[in-house]
Structure 1
């Protein structure tokens, strides 16, 4: 293929774009310019959409103070999540460092939200239909998001929306290092099959199809799996299965969790605890 390409278009290595265009046969020159233009525009759009936003320095400083020292009624985040937001593998507290700021803020909002009322009690319809009470409400199969946790619920309910955002900005911009855990080969092989292939025969996609290569996370809706305590991740899947957690994007994880066995949880999470990423920020 490369040799055929160079026979038609020439070898452009070491040439400027203008000289490359001159090397292209005239009947291909228009297409060459269009293709190069589209590739350049696509690259610029990708860069614009994926470049990290500038850090709000004031929000970062305020978030840092709250994370390290807490305030009246709110304990320091670092007491459980580590001095640098690295988490606590022994106690099963998750890593916050390097998570998407929007993801952190949303989780705090969901911890603070009271569970939605299930069901509506309606009065009997009177004979005079003009006096029938009308209830206007947005109907959706997806809840705004709730997370039940005896430690985080009371803390999150004392935070303001601004404080949640500030904490997200602070922790989301902390560097972190992942230390891979030693896992036996059989568990690793089974976990890799779930992480990389899923269980398509049961309608379960591969973990990396949403959580990114190596489970490194993708955007605010799909957090990283690598570098998190396996016990924490398994506990979250358990909560999706029991309904204690109901705040996943489009109910994706709830459906996936219901297709996972206890063995699936152990194997997949062990696999991600064995993965490693470069030091990221």
Structure 2
């Protein structure tokens, strides 16, 4: 087995392990979640203040779109902010008073919404070409697999463990890759994303973020 084959096997096995260990059941009420998203948890801002009225996010603030994302994934991320596995003072403050059922309800609401169109406004063709190569093919000499190895066809997500990243705001993608790279995000139990992020240069992160933002989030 050569190095390229070994990396592919590692990615696949890591994905299977992650899926087997982190699966949770969906049990949220979208109607209740909609009300909670507009009111907030009583101490922080409502979800729509940062993520928009339709969950479309905000590129300027690096707030991701969350509409149409996997329900279990959304629940797990909010839970991670509560427990400190993900560190973001704004998010932690805005979800800390929600109970388990409320987190499930909010996740179910946003999962029920339609994903937004492509968020990209980048017209730098060379940057997008470099990003396309990394996202679609990877760079095996540097042990960088293509994003679709885990995030699925067209990078639109597979399950609660591998979210859709196509059409996501470039500012947010860049922020999160750097969080993995710097060790500030620890929600990947098998450290697969952390390992990949550490191999990416700043220029590569910029290119990957720009290209992923240019891909339609849904059909």
TM-score by length of structure 1 reads 0.65
Contact 1:92 1:229 in 2 (8 A): yes
Deviations 1:164-206 (A, max 9, x none): 1111100011013313434322111110110011121122210
Give the gaps of 5 or more residues in structure 1. Answer: 1-54, 115-145
Bigger relative contact order, structure 1 or 2 (CA pairs below 8 A, ≥6 apart): 2
Which 4+ runs in 1 deviate beyond 4 A?
none
Equivalent residue, structure 2, for 1:112: 82
Secondary structure of the structure 2 residue equivalent to 1:186? helix
CA distance in 1, matches of 2:57, 2:185: 20
Please tell me whether the aligned partners of residues 229 and 273 of structure 1 are also in contact (alpha carbons under 8 angstroms). Answer: yes
Describe the SS at the equivalent of 1:151: helix
Partner of 1:189: 129
Higher helix proportion (structure 1 or 2): 2
When the two chains are superposed, the root-mean-square deviation of aligned CA atoms in Å is 1.7
- 1:202-281 equivalent positions in 2, closer than 5 A: 202-278=142-218
CA contact (8 A) 2:67 2:116 kept: no
CA distance in 2, matches of 1:78, 1:244: 25
Aligned partners of 1:185, 1:72: CA distance in 2, in Å? 45
Match of 1:44 in 2: none
1:178 lines up with 2:117 in the alignment: yes
User: C-alpha deviations, 1:221-268, integer Å up to 9, x for none?
Assistant: 111111211111111111112221100252111111111100110001
Aligned length: 193
Q: What's the TM-score once normalised by structure 2's chain length? A: 0.82
Q: Confirm or deny that 1:161 pairs with 2:79.
A: no
CA contact (8 A) 2:62 2:175 kept: no
Q: d(CA) in 2 for partners of 1:168 and 1:264?
A: 32
2:90 aligned partner: 151
**Do the aligned partners of 1:210 and 1:222 also contact (CA within 8 Å) in 2?**
yes
Shift of 1:113: 0.7
Residue 157 of structure 1, CA deviation: 2.2
**Distance in 2 of aligned mates of 1:215 and 1:68:** 30
